[in-house]
Amino acid sequence: MKLSAPIYQLKREAKDMARLQAIPLHAALDHVAGKEGFVSWSLLAARHASASPAEKLYSHLKDGDFVLIGARPGKGKTLLALELLVNAAKAGRHAVFFTLEYTEKDIVGRFEKLGVKPSDIRNIVFDCSDRISADHIMAAMREAPKGTVAAVDYLQLLDQRRETPPLARQLESLKHFAVERALTLIFISQIDRSYDPLAKVYPDMTDVRLPNPMDLGLFNKACFLNGSGTAQILFQN
């Protein structure tokens, strides 16, 4: 389910249309839904409500996006990132998975857990180098076509090696690179152990583990998981 804009923006478009054209809101909503390929707004809304977190997030992705996926261990953040890459590959987009955590065999096992066929990941490139950093990612994607989607596993590990620039500087370089080249970069992120799911249903930007200071405002989209099979998608900037 790939919408031309987030569903809240489509609702706003319908409200503006109803006001400017003096038509009932339900008619404006149906008109907007029709442009998205649905017979009515109720069908669009029902399809959106039943979509998986990966489908919902993928429907919001745009070229140049800088995306963060955050969750505590074992809550599905890596699987979500891989599912986004599968959706991109199925749509004919180039997809890359940079990981400092897994071997290629491990990654294939993760795809099997998702029930993904080998043919669905044929166009996904795995990069398991021990030297993944902003410079490495930019060099590897220098010739990547517009619309490429890449996931980095994971954010905090980019800050592990002394010879690499500080994480804040690496992120600034990658943000500029993503916007300039019209690429979508997704970062899997750790969540601090202080996050209490009893106090807050989903973690948020204030719960992202920060080994060193960095500007989380660079991320214009974020998705947080709590292991319930649902997700909270946030939009910034």
pLDDT in tens, 178-210: 999 999 999 999 999 999 999 999 999 999 999
Q: Which one is predicted more confidently, 155 or 39?
A: 155
Question: Are 120 and 143 part of one and the same domain?
Answer: yes
Q: Is residue 170 part of a domain?
A: yes
Taking CA 125 as the corner, what is the angle to CA 130 and CA 50, rounded to the nearest 5 degrees? 115
Residues whose CB is less than 8 angstroms from the CB of residue 160 and which lie 6 or more positions away in sequence, other chains included: 100
Question: Are 41 and 78 part of one and the same domain?
Answer: no
Amino acid type, 25? L
Q: Is residue 183 part of a domain?
A: yes
Q: Is residue 1 part of a domain?
A: no
Question: Are 81 and 175 part of one and the same domain?
Answer: yes
The parent domain of residue 126 ranges over 53-235
Question: Are 192 and 83 part of one and the same domain?
Answer: yes
Q: What is the pLDDT of residue 79?
A: 93
Question: Are 18 and 112 part of one and the same domain?
Answer: no
Number of structural domains (the chain) is: 2
CATH number of domain containing 92: 3.40.50.300
Taking CA 130 as the corner, what is the angle to CA 71 and CA 128, rounded to the nearest 5 degrees? 70
pLDDT at 9 over 90: no
Question: Are 41 and 144 part of one and the same domain?
Answer: no
- For the entire predicted model, the pTM comes to 0.82
Please give the structure tokens belonging to residue 33.
């839904």
Question: Are 28 and 75 part of one and the same domain?
Answer: no
Q: Which one is predicted more confidently, 46 or 99?
A: 99
Instruction: Report how far apart, in Å, the C-alpha atoms of 78 and of each of 39, 106, 111, 119, 154 are.
Output: 35, 12, 10, 20, 9
Range from 1-5, 150-154, 182-186, 217-221 carrying the lowest mean pLDDT? 1-5
Q: What is the pLDDT of residue 50?
A: 63
Structure confidence by residue, pLDDT tens digits, 19-67: 999 999 999 999 999 998 888 988 888 777 667 899 889 988 999 999 9
